[in-house]
Amino acid sequence: MARKKEISISGNMPLPGRNTPGTVIITAPRLFMKDMADYMQAVRGANNVDFTQRTRLYDLYEDILMDGHTGSVIEKRKSAVQCSQIEFRRNGVPDEGINTLLRSPWFYRFIGDLIDSDFWGFSLFQFYKDGSGWMDYRLVPRKNYDPVRGLIKHRQEDTTGEPLENYHTMLFVGEKRSLGRLARIAPYVIYKRNDMADWAQFCEIFGMPIREYTYSAGDEQARDQAVKDMAEQGGAAVFLHPEEAQMKLIESGNKSGSSDLYRTLYDTCNDEISKIVLGNTLTTQASERGTQALGTVQEKGEKKLNEADRILVLNTLNYDMTDIFTAFGYDTRGGEFYYVKPKETTAEQEINIISRMRQMGTPVSDEYVYEATGIPKPDNYDRLKEETASGNGKPENNGAQEKEQPSPERNKRKEDGIVNRIRAFFVAAPRKGALKW
């Protein structure tokens, strides 16, 4: 049986320490100057049934990810999962050997690339051990893999390649024919960029004053001086004409309305991008119609998407990666990966809860009190505890007599006084009604 291969990634030149180029040759993406014709052509090529060509589509994805709003909302969704703590437990007990692996830098990157499978359509990983013996992975360039036929291509424009089975410890996450969420985002980024270009041209034309120079038609010296003055006074628009000629500048009748039109299209594109990525708009930017209650409702919807991302991660770890963990010496049999539920209460709230529980007679562990409050436990805790239990730890009363226990009659008078004060607080209602009916 032939030994399975390891993927190496390089350009046309070999990597340092290698005599030959990598098994996968990457090519720089073609960026900028994209329009809707490029988008439609890229989608048609990616949807080809027999020979899918996704190079143009993934170049377009690289281009739109340079958009500030698109990149920020995607990072927001990914960080919600990357910052959630994952723990491996066997019979309810955390396994520190595997949990150390989950705290490594590569695992943080892995979670982000795993979530990217929803935006790009898929992610393909190959796991290996680095020079120090730690587990790590390579993300196979998406332009060099045909997910429909399962072929790894030497160059992105190839129509043939090697089967995925020829390589060891590979993990494919996603759908074979899915174009990903970025296919829905791309049109709005293209429209927004074109809108920004027109808006910038509008500001350049109508946002700067226009200078006018005149000279006598027969005075060439005056004309040369006017041209010299024009060159030395900045790049604003300028008109130069003889005094005998007439110049009329006809401006737009509603410049403020035109500017609002550009802004409206810009905000609309950003809103649509936010909806596609996060399912809402109010958790990323303010709105004139937004309220706190509506923002809270939309935040709950966003948390559902984050929960779906966490389920994707757990399913991948618990089902798809068990053989990979075993191949690298990490035994996950009989255990399961969990998300550690974050603590949503503050230290002050914890203290109030502990106080109420003790007032109700419910025992609370002293260790939990120290852990909840963050107060360090004394080194002589056992001795102080014994002194408190025996009464030696109580402050002295300097010979003062103990307080007299209240009698039942005194308690009754005290309760009657409280009731009377409560009654006096409210104004007595008129006997015949407030409106004298």
How far is the C-alpha of 158 from the C-alpha of 270, rounded, in Å? 36
- Do 174 and 121 touch, CB atoms closer than 8 A? yes
The residues, ordered by sequence, that sit 6+ positions from 128 with a Cβ below 8 Å of its Cβ are: 6, 135, 136, 137, 138, 169
- Do 264 and 270 touch, CB atoms closer than 8 A? no
pLDDT for position 287 = 56
pLDDT for position 290 = 52
Using CA atoms, how far residue 374 sits from 72, 193, 287, 362, 369, in Å, is 35, 51, 40, 21, 8
Q: For 169-254, where are the alpha helices, taking DSSP H only?
A: 182-206, 220-232
pLDDT tens sequence across 31-67: 999 999 999 999 999 999 888 899 999 999 999 999 9
- The encoded tokens of residue 365 equal 């562990």
313 has pLDDT over 70: yes
pLDDT for position 401 = 46
pLDDT for position 409 = 60
Q: Identify the DSSP state of 134.
A: -
- The encoded tokens of residue 107 equal 């695992």
More confident residue, 278 or 253: 278
pLDDT for position 395 = 46
pLDDT for position 391 = 64
**Which SS3 state, helix, strand or coil, does residue 325 take?**
helix
How far is the C-alpha of 145 from the C-alpha of 173, rounded, in Å? 13
Q: φ, ψ for residue 362 (rounded to 5)?
A: -85, 120
Q: Which of 247, 240, 236 is nearest to 206 (CA)?
A: 236
pLDDT for position 402 = 47
Query: Token pair 């004298």 is at which residue?
Result: 436
pLDDT for position 428 = 54
pLDDT for position 433 = 46
More confident residue, 177 or 295: 177
Percent of the chain with pLDDT over 90: 48
Q: Which of 354, 356, 374 is nearest to 365 (CA)?
A: 354
Q: Identify the DSSP state of 165.
A: G
pLDDT band at 314 (very low <50, low <70, confident <90, very high): very high
User: Which long-range CB contacts under 8 A does 333-338 form with residues at least 24 apart?
Assistant: 334/90, 334/91, 335/88, 335/89, 335/90, 335/91, 335/95, 335/98, 336/88, 336/89, 336/90, 337/86, 337/87, 337/88, 338/86, 338/87, 338/88, 338/89, 338/314
Which uninterrupted H or E stretch holds 352? helix 347-359
Q: Which of 42, 71, 78, 40 is nearest to 58 (CA)?
A: 42
- The encoded tokens of residue 74 equal 């995607």
- The encoded tokens of residue 304 equal 């559902």
pLDDT for position 361 = 82
pLDDT for position 21 = 83
Q: What's the mean pLDDT in 323-333?
A: 92
pLDDT band at 216 (very low <50, low <70, confident <90, very high): confident
**Which SS3 state, helix, strand or coil, does residue 238 take?**
strand
